[in-house]
A and B are shown apart, each in its own frame.
Chain A
Amino acid sequence: MRTLLSTPLFVAALAIPAAGFAQDSDGDGASDGIDAMPCDAAVSGVSYYPSQGQHSQIVFEDQFPADGDLDFNDVVVGTNMVFTTNANGDVVSMRATFNLLAQGGIFHSGWGFHLPVSRASVASVTRTVGAGSAKALALEIDSEATVLLSEDARELFSAQDKTIYTQINSDPAIAVRTAQVMQVDIVFAAPVALNMGLAPFDFFIFRENHPELQVHLPAYPGTAAMDTSVFGTQDDTSSPGRWFTGSNGLPFALNLFGSSLYPQEGVSISSLYPNIVNFAQSGGTADADFMSSQVVSAVGFAGAPTPSFIGADTFAADVSCVPAPTCTDGYQNQGESGLDCGGPCASCVTVSASCPPASVALPVSCEELRQAGVATGTYCVDPDGPNGQAGLVVYCDQDTLGGGWTAVANVTTTGPTYQTFATKGGTDYLAPLSVSTVLRNAATEVRFECRATNGGVIDQVSTDAAWLGRPIQVGYGCANGYHYAASASLLSTLTPAPANTASIGTGAYGGGCCCRPNVAVGYMTAGFGQSSWFMYDPYYRRAYPTCAGTSASYMRIYYR
Chain B
Amino acid sequence: MSLNPKRRLTPGALRFLRASAVGLGLLGLAACGSQEQASANEPLRQIDIPADFTFSTTRAVTVTVSAGFTAIPTGAKLVIERGDGSVVYSGALLADRPLTLPLMVATADQRLVLRMNSEYREWQAELQVDGPQVSYVFTEEN
Tell whether A258 is near chain B: CB-to-CB under 8 Å.
Answer: yes
Closest A residue to B29 using CB positions = A266
Which of A13, A74, A298 is close to B90, meaning CB atoms less than 8 Å apart?
A13
Judged by a CB distance under 8 angstroms, whether A199 is at the interface is yes
Query: 8 Å CB contacts to A: which residues of B18-36?
Result: 18, 21-22, 24-26, 28-34, 36
Q: Which of A247-255, A392-400, A543-551 contacts B (4 or more CB under 8 A)?
A: A247-255
- The answer to whether B89 and A69 have CB atoms under 8 Å apart is no
- Contact partners of B18 in chain A: CB under 8 A: 270-271, 274, 277
Shortest distance from the beta carbon of B41 to any chain A beta carbon, whole Å: 9
Query: A256 vs B50: C-alpha distance in the bound complex, in angstroms?
Result: 20
Q: Which of A81-89, A128-136, A349-357 contacts B (4 or more CB under 8 A)?
A: A81-89
Known A68-B32, A250-B45; judge A51-B87 contact (CB<8 A). yes
**Assuming the A-B contacts A104-B32, A257-B57, A270-B43, are A239 and B49 also in contact, with contact meaning beta carbons closer than 8 angstroms in the complex?**
no
Whether A35 lies near B91 (C-beta < 8 A) is: yes
Establish whether residues A46 and B90, one from each chain, have CB atoms under 8 Å apart when the complex forms.
yes
How close is A78's CB to chain B, nearest CB, in angstroms?
A: 15
B125 interface residue per 8 A CB criterion: no
Tell whether, in the assembled complex, residue B21 and residue A198 are in contact, meaning their CB atoms are under 8 Å apart: no
| Interface 0/1 of B52-82, CB less than 8 Å to A | 1111111111100000000000111110011
In Å, the complex CA distance between A258 and B58 comes to 10
A299 to B29, CA, bound (A): 11
Q: Do residues B57 and A87 form an inter-chain contact, with CB atoms below 8 A?
A: no
Chain A at the B interface: mostly helix, strand, loop or mixed? loop
Indicate whether A343 reaches chain B with its CB closer than 8 angstroms.
no
Residue of A nearest to B91 (CB): A45
In-complex Cβ contact of A296 among B22, B38, B45, B90 (8 A): B22
Task: Bin chain B's interface residue count.
Answer: 35 or more
**Which residues does chain B contribute within 8 Å of A256, judged by CB atoms?**
57
Q: Say yes or no: is A158 at the interface (Cβ < 8 Å to chain B).
A: no
By a CB distance below 8 angstroms, the chain A residues around B5 are: 247-248
Is the Cβ of B92 less than 8 Å from the Cβ of A36?
yes
The reply on A487 being an interface residue by CB < 8 A is no
Instruction: Indicate whether A267 reaches chain B with its CB closer than 8 angstroms.
Output: yes
Q: Do B90 and A270 have beta carbons less than 8 Å apart?
A: no
Per-position 1/0 for A33-61, Cβ under 8 A of B: 11110000000111111111110000000
How many A residues are at the interface, by size bracket?
35 or more
**If the complex has contacts A69-B37, A198-B104, A266-B28, are A280 and B86 also in contact, measured as CB distance less than 8 A?**
no
A65 at the binding interface (Cβ < 8 Å): no
Residues of A within 8 A of B137 (CB): none
Q: Which A residues lie within 8 Å of B96 (CB)?
A: 29
User: What residues of B have a CB within 8 angstroms of the CB of A196 in the complex?
Assistant: 101-104
Q: Which residues of A contact B30 (CB under 8 A)?
A: 69, 266
Once A249-B49, A255-B58, A298-B26 are accepted as A-B contacts, the answer to whether A87 and B77 lie under 8 Å apart by CB is: no
Minimum Cβ distance to chain B for residue A553 (Å): 48
Contact of A53 among B55, B57, B86, B106 (CB under 8 A): B86
* A-B CB contact pairs (8 Å), 23 listed: A13-B90, A36-B91, A45-B78, A47-B103, A51-B81, A51-B88, A68-B37, A71-B36, A106-B34, A197-B60, A198-B104, A242-B52, A242-B54, A248-B5, A257-B57, A258-B57, A266-B25, A266-B29, A268-B25, A278-B14, A288-B107, A289-B108, A298-B26
Q: Please give the residue numbers on chain A whose beta carbons come within 8 Å of chain B beta carbons, in ascending order.
A: 13-14, 21-22, 24, 29-31, 33-36, 44-54, 63, 67-71, 73-74, 85, 87-89, 104-106, 167, 170, 194-199, 217-219, 239, 241-242, 247-251, 254-258, 263-272, 274, 276-281, 283-284, 288-289, 291, 296, 298-299
